[in-house]
Amino acid sequence: MRVVFLGTPAPASQILERVVEAGHEVVQVITRPDAKRGRGGALSPSPVKETALRLGIPVAHQLDVLDSAEADVGVVVAYGALIPASRLEKLPMLNVHFSLLPRWRGAAPVERCILAGDEETGVDIMTLEPTLDTGPIHFEVKTLVGDKDANELLSELTRIGGDALVRVLTDPALLKNASPQSGEATYAAKLSASDFVISPELSASNAMRIIRLGRTRIQTSKGTLRILKARPANATAAPGEILRTDGKVVLGLADGALELLELRPEGSKSMTAESWWTGLREVTVQWSSVAISGE
């Protein structure tokens, strides 16, 4: 099948490779313009652009190339902008969406399902519509959320999403038939800095969900500390307190504690919580929220 692929971030680039590996001809890639990514002022191509260039696929940054593209279908994976109805009328498009629609329509479905404590999520392959994530569904794959962090869950959804897309592209019955979404719609708003903040007043379960997003920092009496990995702990620690008990470094919260596993102190490299604690030589350390920034 001849495909136009629209996408921008790393998960989309992995799905692009999966489509090519499956034998489909990607005749054109459209991605967001080069942008500042990471430190420094230099412009860098998107991961999708890098992959397309490596594979020898033409790359464009404007949707007007769709007017001359000779393709059977468009595929959209985290492109970063809505596709106008006028474009969809000329070329039907499939979208790979990382949730079980209509739950978590929008920009941050992976993170929102973790924050909400959802037991399961998945991938939907749907027909793209001008409105946000409202199209009928061709194929759906479910998976358990468990205690996966955001990176682990996104990696899994990327893998199963690529396989699901290839299945739809290869199966005429799936491609031709789609079912309307049913159920209550929820919206996965883009995350802000406040979504990554934990405080001693939170429950241990809510704090753990935020930590699993991967960008949580706290202010301790020994400096700012990024929490990279943690897990529920059967231990006692006062809210706002970090201590070592029964061989574990634990963080006290409103209704219990979390065991800290991997940390990164400000200005230092990542280390185990045990290594960090050993260097402190303290009985207890106080902690609080970090002021919200635009990080």
- The 10 Å CB-count burial string (b at 16+, else e) for 147-171 is ebbbeebbebbbbbbbebbbbbbee
Structural domain of 7: 2-188
> Helices (DSSP H) in 107-266: which residue ranges?
109-115, 150-170, 172-176, 204-211
Residues 6+ apart with CB under 8 A from 122: 99, 100, 140, 141, 142, 143, 157, 160
140 shares a domain with 214: no
69 shares a domain with 182: yes
177 shares a domain with 203: no
- Is residue 294, in this structure, part of any structural domain at all? no
Give pLDDT tens digits for 159-212: 999 999 999 999 999 999 999 999 999 999 999 999 999 999 999 999 999 999
Give pLDDT tens digits for 77-123: 999 999 999 999 999 999 999 999 999 999 999 999 999 999 999 99
211 shares a domain with 115: no
- Is residue 295, in this structure, part of any structural domain at all? no
Give pLDDT tens digits for 224-271: 999 999 999 999 999 999 999 999 999 999 999 999 999 999 999 999
220 shares a domain with 145: no
30 shares a domain with 140: yes
